[in-house]
Amino acid sequence: MTFRTLQGADLSSKTALVRVDFNVPMENGQITDDTRLRAALPTINLLSKAGAKVVLLAHFDRPKGKRVPEMSLKPVLPALSKLVGQNVAWADDCIGADAKAVIDGLKAGGVALLENLRYHAGEEKNDPAFAAELAKLGDIYVNDAFSAAHRAHASTEGVAKLLPAYPGLSMERELSALDAALGNPQRPVIGIVGGSKVSTKLDLLKNLVTKLDKLAIGGGMANTFLYAQGHDVGASYCEKDLAETAREIIRLAGQNNCKLFLPIDIVVAEQMARGVPTRVRGLGSVDEHERILDAGPETVARLKRAMANSKTLIWNGPLGVFEIPPFDKGTVEAAKEAARLAKAGELVAVAGGGDTVSAMHHAGVAADLTFISTAGGAFLEWMEGKELPGVEALKV
């Protein structure tokens, strides 16, 4: 991929429109997790120190083109000002005279936050007139919100076509990590895909078996594959209507020389609750009242060996119900091995998707993997092989 880069660009006295993701969790008007604010700081600081005016564009929640007071971005202002180290100016609208006046009042290096883009219906419709109104406010456009890059909105795609467009530092880092995982990876490449439903990850599985050397399937979705192969899954969650689809993916993997790793033993219990009795079962020996809730020790040991014999790992989804110990054991053991190999420089380990991020933090390895993407939907669509409009619009 070819992009302009902010490093070395003439930024002095420019007004930079920076698309950020400030859709942060809030309770009673207070931010409960400022990770997304912190992610934008390197780009904000670079632009500010270079003497640019920094104008932040963001959405919050889903106001659907209307002014919904509780979906204002204004409560973000105090925390953002503290992190940036200067008073961030505020505009009550993201286009028009109010926004222009606030930007005109900024000094070189000053930072402003504009009101919720989604107060305007033109944002999600990617309305050219709305994109043009946004573009009037700046000289250059910077997208630092990979998490919104799978949406063709006015602030992610429309403006990028009207101004010189750059990826921000956070976006650059994400694209570099993803390219290392699937674009131009060191081989062999192994994937781990877990989670409960095959139905939500069909496109993902069909794409990965054509790109990877090995693919391990875990979590509830593995039950569907085991059922498709004729194994009894007892009272486990299983999408039995997708058995033929699972068999099709198994065939597709074979045609593309992708070695598929399905569970060879499983951890079962009659209830999904803490402290319940558990048993390790071989395939096909599950009682009718038992539920498969984690990968068994032999399955995990085999997966660890497969990772050790790989150069690149891409991981999406847990191997079991990790939120409820002891059904976290398989995920935690595999995650610790991935982290060990990554720290030793033996494996490029990239993980992403909501449950995956939580699982890596639960295992205590989030800081040790090569890269963790918090982008959710954008990360999944990228793994599915889909073009992301917000990324495509940045290409030179």
Are 86 and 166 part of one and the same domain? yes
Active-site entry in 65, 109, 354, 376: 354
Shared domain for 167 and 46, answered yes or no, is: yes
Q: What is the mean pLDDT of residues 352-369?
A: 93
The one catalytic residue in 19, 36, 53, 118 is 36
Q: For residue range 261-308, what is the model confidence (pLDDT) as tens digits?
A: 999 999 999 999 998 999 999 998 899 999 999 999 999 999 999 999
Give the residue carrying structure tokens 């319940």. Answer: 276
pLDDT, tens only, 319-357: 999 999 999 999 999 999 999 999 999 999 999 987 899
Quick one: 224 and 373 in the same domain?
yes
Asked if the structure places residue 326 within a domain, the reply is yes
pLDDT over threshold 80, residue 215 = yes
Instruction: Examine the residue annotation and report whether 195 is marked as an active-site residue of this protein.
Output: no
Q: What is the pLDDT, as a whole number, of residue 113? A: 98
Q: Tell me the C-alpha distance between 243 and 363, whole Å.
A: 32
In a domain, 225, yes or no: yes
Q: Which of 121-125, 308-312, 375-379 has the lowest mean pLDDT?
A: 375-379
Q: Which entry of 74, 100, 197, 304 is annotated as an active-site residue?
A: 197
User: Which residue has 């660890």 as its token pair?
Assistant: 304
Report pLDDT for 28. 85
* pLDDT of 370 higher than 90: yes
Same domain flag for 282 and 342: yes
d(CA 166, CA 321): 40
**Whether 277 and 326 share a structural domain:** yes
Return the CA Rg of the chain.
23
Catalytic residue, chosen from 65, 376, 377, 385, is 377
Q: What is the CATH number of the domain that holds 152?
A: 3.40.50.1260
Do residues 94 and 20 share a domain?
yes
CB 288 within 8 A of CB 188: no
Task: Give the Cα separation of 67 and 79 in Å (integer).
Answer: 23
Per-residue model confidence as pLDDT tens digits over 140-155: 999 999 999 999 999 9
- Of 122, 145, 171, the position where a domain reaches its end is 171
**CB-based contacts of 203, cutoff 8 Å, min separation 6:** 384, 385, 386
Instruction: Establish whether 354 is a catalytic residue.
Output: yes
395, 161 Cβ separation under 8 angstroms: no
Residues 151 and 196 grouped into a single domain: no
Residue type, 93: D
How far apart are the C-alpha atoms of 193 and 50, rounded to whole Å?
A: 42
Position 269 in a domain: yes
Q: Which of 171, 201, 216 is the last residue of a domain?
A: 171
169-206 tens-digit pLDDT: 999 999 999 999 998 999 999 999 999 889 989 999 99
Distance separating alpha carbons of residues 332 and 92, to the nearest angstrom: 46
Q: Residue 302 domain-assigned?
A: yes
Number of independent structural domains in the chain: 2
Residues 137 and 96 in one domain: yes
Domain ends where: 171, 203, 225? 171
For helices 219-228 and 243-255, give the axis angle rounded to 10 degrees. Answer: 90
Q: Is residue 190 domain-resident?
A: yes
pLDDT of 1 reads 57
User: Partners of 372 in the beta sheet?
Assistant: 351
Answer for the pair 242, 220: CB distance below 8 angstroms, yes or no. Answer: no
Note whether 260 and 130 are same-domain residues.
Answer: no
266 and 317 belong to one structural domain: yes
The number of CA neighbours under 13 Å toward the Cβ of 96 is: 8
pLDDT of residue 229: 96
| pTM of structure | 0.91
75 domain residue, yes or no: yes
To 5 degrees, how large is the angle CA 65–CA 67–CA 68?
A: 110
pLDDT over 90 percentage in the chain: 91
Of residues 143, 170, 144, 178, the one with CA closest to residue 158: 143
Residue 69: pLDDT over 70: yes
Q: What is the pLDDT, as a whole number, of residue 351?
A: 96
> Among this protein's residues, is 118 annotated catalytic?
no
* Average confidence score pLDDT of the chain: 96
Q: Output the CA torsion sign for 330, 333, 336, 341.
A: negative
Concerning whether 197 is annotated as a catalytic residue, the answer is yes
Is there a single domain that holds both residue 133 and residue 197?
Answer: no
Residues 108 and 202 in one domain: no
Q: Is residue 30 part of a domain?
A: yes
SS (HEC) of the chain: CCECCCCCCCCCCCEEEEECCCCCCEECCEECCCHHHHHHHHHHHHHHHCCCEEEEECCCCCCCCCCCHHHCCHHHHHHHHHHHCCCCEEECCCCHHHHHHHHHCCCCCCEEEECCHHHCHHHHCCCHHHHHHHHCCCCEEEECCHHHCCCCCHHHHHHHHCCCEEECHHHHHHHHHHHHHHHCCCCCEEEEECCCCCCCCHHHHHHHCCCCCEEEECHHHHHHHHHHCCCCCCCCCCCHHHHHHHHHHHHHHHHCCCEEECCCEEEEECCCCCCCCCEEEECCCCCCCCEEEEECHHHHHHHHHHHHCCCEEEEECCCCCCCCCCCCHHHHHHHHHHHHHHHCCCCEEEEECHHHHHHHHHHCCCCCCCEEECCCHHHHHHHCCCCCHHHHCCEC
pLDDT given for residue 341 in this prediction? 98
CA distance 172 to 350: 15
Q: What angle do helix axes 169-178 and 35-49 make, rounded to 10 degrees?
A: 120
Domain with 308 in it: 185-383
Contact indicator for 16, 55 with CB cutoff of 8 Å: yes
Residue 68: CA count within 13 A, CB half-sphere: 15
Residue 179, in any domain of the structure: no
